[in-house]
Amino acid sequence: MTATVIDGKAFAAKVRGLVGEGVAKLKADHGITPGLAVVLVGEDPASQVYVRSKGKMTVEVGMHSIEHKLDVATSEADLLALIDQLNNDPAIHGILVQLPLPDHLDSDLVINSIDPAKDVDGFHISNVGLLGTGQKSMVPCTPLGCLMMLRDYHGSLSGMNAVVIGRSNIVGKPMAQLLLGDSCTVTIAHSRTKDLPHVVRQADIVVAAVGRPQMVPGDWIKPGATVIDVGINRIEKPDGGTRLVGDVDYDSCAAVAGAITPVPGGVGPMTIACLLANTLTACCRANGLPEPEGLTA
Ligand code: NAP
């Protein structure tokens, strides 16, 4: 079998198009422009690239974009004061603090100081609790993007066996909650899981969020299963230079799976698209307006 390639790049463009339509309608019908504020502390090169790209796409869908670039030595008090100001700014509907933060800043404290209604990353403890109890919340962008692609490909996920490899707070755990919410039978695997190949072979859906290049080989995959590869790893090419690979060995998995997301061009582009979707959702909720359909869990 050769797997169907789930084109995350094209799907993300479609999601951004829907967000753009929602923004245009908000402006035309209510005179409201959704606003997203991104806060970056320090000069981590990867974070700078992400923040630039987020700002560009925010403007492209017609939203108001603000970037706060703070010195690496910014004090916790100053950062918390900025977040307080953004929490109270009616023109801002989404706040994202780019992680990782420098070591002297307490990430949990900072994230939990964001108004949960503006927490478009979905990392605030209130949103984690709401998601875990099946209530309306802001949903973390990367797992939301994975869920959207799975729903689009399969329709209903009800009754499917899903194995999530990885239990991080930003991907693995919320992914498992979302799959459970869609009535999958969910297993969360991690570094202490016994006989991981056997566990993964039971899965109709495999979500790999491990951070280990090409760790999952094709002979772990049940024929016809759907493979969602969250991993983004840079490896050296034999002839020099580097390339991006996922957490699954693409070629051997694609030979067995029914469907698979590539790296790059799979989950990655969906993450920013879902950030924009969350900002639109947050704006609609803040104004007591109906939420756009199909853009959240
Ligand atoms: P993380 O916080 O480092 O978590 C990795 C998880 O993988 C941990 O739960 C760890 O288990 C588990 N793990 C490590 N080695 C394992 C092994 N040999 N067998 C089974 N499980 C193992 O990573 P993360 O933040 O979730 O990110 C995971 C990957 O996704 C990374 O490649 C990251 O770059 C990528 N990512 C992509 C996007 C995107 O937009 N596409 C967004 C976020 C992350 P323990 O808990 O037992 O240590």
Task: Note the pLDDT tens digit of each residue in 120-159.
Answer: 999 999 999 999 999 999 999 999 999 999 999 999 999 9
Q: What is the dihedral of CA 17, 130, 288, 54, to 10 degrees?
A: -30
- Which atom belonging to ligand 1 lies closest to the Cα atom of 266? 41
Residue 270: CB within 6 Å of ligand 1?
A: no
Q: How far is the CA of 191 from the centre of ligand 1 (A)?
A: 10
> Ligand 1: which residue has its CA nearest to atom 41?
268
At residue 213, the pLDDT reads: 98
Of residues 122, 181, 171, 117, the one with CA closest to residue 151:
181
Q: How far is the CA of 246 from the centre of ligand 1 (A)?
A: 11
Say if pTM beats, i.e. exceeds, 0.75. yes
Helices (H) and strands (E) in the chain, counts: 10, 11
Q: How far apart are CA 153 and CA 107, in angstroms?
A: 35
Q: Which of 232, 270, 276, 278 to mutate to test the pocket of ligand 1 (most atoms within 8 A of CB)?
A: 232
Of residues 40, 25, 122, the one with CA closest to residue 79:
40
Q: Which residues of 38-59 are buried (b: 16+ CB within 10 A; e: fewer)?
A: bbbbbebeebeebbeebeebbe
Of the candidates 115, 118, 119, 121, the residue annotated as catalytic is: 121
At residue 79, the pLDDT reads: 98
> Ligand 1: which residue has its CA nearest to atom 4?
168
Look up 44 and say whether it is catalytic.
no
Q: How far is the CA of 164 from the centre of ligand 1 (A)?
A: 10
Residue 292: CB within 6 Å of ligand 1?
A: no
At residue 1, the pLDDT reads: 67
Q: How far is the CA of 136 from the centre of ligand 1 (A)?
A: 26
Residue 142: CB within 6 Å of ligand 1?
A: yes
C-alpha separations of 37 from 4, 16, 90 in Å: 37, 18, 12
Q: How far is the CA of 53 from the centre of ligand 1 (A)?
A: 23
Residue 207: CB within 6 Å of ligand 1?
A: no
For the chain, list residues with pLDDT below 70: 1
Look up 98 and say whether it is catalytic.
yes
Q: Which residues pair with 260 in a beta bridge?
A: 5, 227
Look up 118 and say whether it is catalytic.
no
Residue 171: CB within 6 Å of ligand 1?
A: yes
Instruction: Give, for 47, the enclosing helix (H) or strand (E).
Output: helix 45-60
Provide CB contacts within 8 A for 106, sequence distance 6+: 76
Q: How far apart are CA 257 and CA 218, in angstroms?
A: 8
**Residue 149: count of CB within 10 angstroms of its CB:** 23
- Which atom belonging to ligand 1 lies closest to the Cα atom of 270? 40
